[in-house]
Amino acid sequence: MIIERNGVDEEFLAAHAEGYAEVVEALEPFARGADLRPLVPAATLQSPPHRVTGGKVTHSPEGRPAAGSEQRPKARWPRVAALLVLILAITGAVFLFMNPPKGDPVVILMDTTARKGVYDSDNDAIGASNAKEVSKVLQELLPQRSLTQVPLSAGWDREDYVITLRPDLVIVHRSSFFHSYNAELKLGYPPFTNAVDEARWRFLYENIGDDKLISLIGLIGNEVPQAKFLVYSRGTDTNWLSADFRVEWVRKIEGRFPKLKGRITTMVIPNGYTGSFRQSETRALLRSNVIEILKLPEKRGSEKRN
């Protein structure tokens, strides 16, 4: 005979207690430390079901058989099974939300539209940045939807926008902010005829323009753990042409923002002040850097071109 407490068939729950426990155990890897015991009916965690020995029917004080004592709720298990399926579906959805499948990488292309910072005169004429040419090169490796161009200017303040894109790679022109500021301040470009003008120019480059760029890299890098950075320049600051200088430049950034260690790559645009992303040497260098940083398969470039 089966006794019900609070309308719950205790014999049924006890019989399926092991099944409940197995389901909870299966869900534990996705629980992230959450307590799954509430998913198990309380009766299965307490005492075993009470049975009346001897096979006799228990009567109520009025002499009638106890309510429900002669009926087994056969339809209860399908409802429980449906509930468990629902729980599994919700758990799976939460897991996918917390751990989305990795698709194509998100790449942000950042550069200035200031005249002296644009490598190709026709792009300068239409207000386009070098990011336009970088995008063309990378479309041989990645779908266009992976690439977002972000123009930089002296008053640029859209850090939060870039962070919300959760980039895997940010490709940025080292001199972006310097060229933008200099376009406003009109301090000119080397060579200078006196030390004062040169010192003023260098202060703008190193203490304002470069610091703005480094702060941006640090902010994005701290907020987006997977973000890596490829920083390029033709050498407006001629120090950039020295490999030792570039190594030290990265080291100082990593000292200021320790989380960025190992996440910054530098690149010198070939051919000096005539260099461009339209030149085959520069295109090949850019592709090889991006393939290495994002760990793309070498054959991906040829597949995209076919």
Scored b (16 or more CB within 10 A) or e, 204-223 reads: bbeebbbebbbebbbebbee
Q: What is the 3-state secondary structure (H, E, C) of the chain?
A: CCCEECCEEHHHHHHCHHHHHHHHHHHHHHCCCCCCHHHCCHHHHCCCCCCCHHHCCCECCCCCECCCCCCCCCCHHHHHHHHHHHHHHHHHHHHHHHCCCCCCCCEEEEEECCHHHCCCHHHHHCCCCCHHHHHHHHCCCCCHHHEEEEEECCCCCCHHHHHHCCCCEEEEECCHHHHHHHHHHCCCCCCCCCHHHHHHHHHHHHHHHHHHHHHHHHHHHHHCCCCEEEEEECCCCHHHHCHHHHHHHHHHHHHHCHHHCCCEEEEECCCHHHCCCCCHHHHHHHHHHHHHHHCCCCCHHHHHHC
pLDDT at residue number 141: 96
Q: What is the pLDDT along the chain (306 residues), one digit of tens a residue?
A: 444 444 445 565 555 555 556 555 655 655 556 565 655 555 555 545 545 455 555 555 555 555 544 555 556 666 667 777 778 877 766 555 544 456 899 999 999 999 999 999 999 999 999 999 999 999 999 999 999 999 999 999 999 999 999 999 999 999 999 999 999 999 999 999 999 999 999 999 999 999 999 999 999 999 999 999 999 999 999 999 999 999 999 999 999 999 999 999 999 999 999 999 999 999 999 999 999 999 998 765 544 544
Mind listing the domains of the chain with CATH numbers?
4-98 (no CATH), 107-305 (3.40.50.2300)
What's the predicted TM-score (pTM) here? 0.68
The residue among 28, 34, 27 whose CA lies nearest residue 83 is 27
